[in-house]
Amino acid sequence: MNSIVDRYITFFDLDHTLLHVNCSFQFGLYLYKKKIIGAYSLAQLLWFYFLHKCGRLDIYGIHNKSFESLFRGRESKEFRMHGEVFVEQFCDRLIDHDVYEVLLSKKRKGEQVVILSSSPDFLVEPFAKKLGVSNFQSTSYRTCSQGRYYLIEKVLEGNEKSKIVKQISLEQQIPFTNTSAYSDSHHDLPFLESVAVPVAVNPNRILRKICEKRGWDIFPGT
């Protein structure tokens, strides 16, 4: 058994990190093409996503608006089924294979890997399974006794990710110096600050400036 000082753990964001796209956005397009949602619902999702990218809608806002527009009152098993089919069909083309190779190299060394994503669990779970990662956490929606969504249970944003990093590291007795994290966005700044080795993956403009100022690694190297 490895000693405590030999234990390492790496946390990966999913969207625009392990994947080169936002999987929720791509899933919305998939649902529209399959005629599961209509043009109006797709237009709303596109608008919410645009507002978020422009900084006019935070992560809680986009989840709340998307939930009210698309998920409230719908059966959870419907989206879990479509999520599994979507991931099965498109996972290979959505993966950022360079970042995925980093994950695989960590696993080959016997290090722990964890996926922390703000995307909903019915997408994150099948992606995690496809990527061979058993430990993951994500945004989740609560269902009523009839199995229909009625409430956002948890939004896994940067601060929540930071808490999970600290909790898992403490439970697993992993030294701070042996922790690392990969993400693409300044929205995950608390998450990246909670580890010893933060790595920005194709970072957005704000995160790139932070990396340059603090001397953080940028992947791939520039």
Using DSSP's 3-state secondary structure scheme, residue 102 falls into helix
> Terminus-to-terminus CA distance in the chain, angstroms?
38
Percent of the chain past pLDDT 90, that is, above it, reads 89
Is the pLDDT reported for residue 19 higher than 80?
yes
pTM: 0.94
> How do residues 194-220 score in pLDDT, each as one tens digit?
999 999 999 999 999 999 999 999 999
Q: Report the pLDDT averaged over residues 73-97.
A: 96
pLDDT of the residue at 98: 97
**Domains within the chain, CATH numbers bracketed:** 4-219 (3.40.50.1000)
Q: What angle do CA 181, 60, 165 make, to 5 degrees?
A: 25
pLDDT of the residue at 3: 56
Is the pLDDT reported for residue 222 higher than 60?
no
d(Cα 92, Cα 177) in Å, to the nearest integer? 33
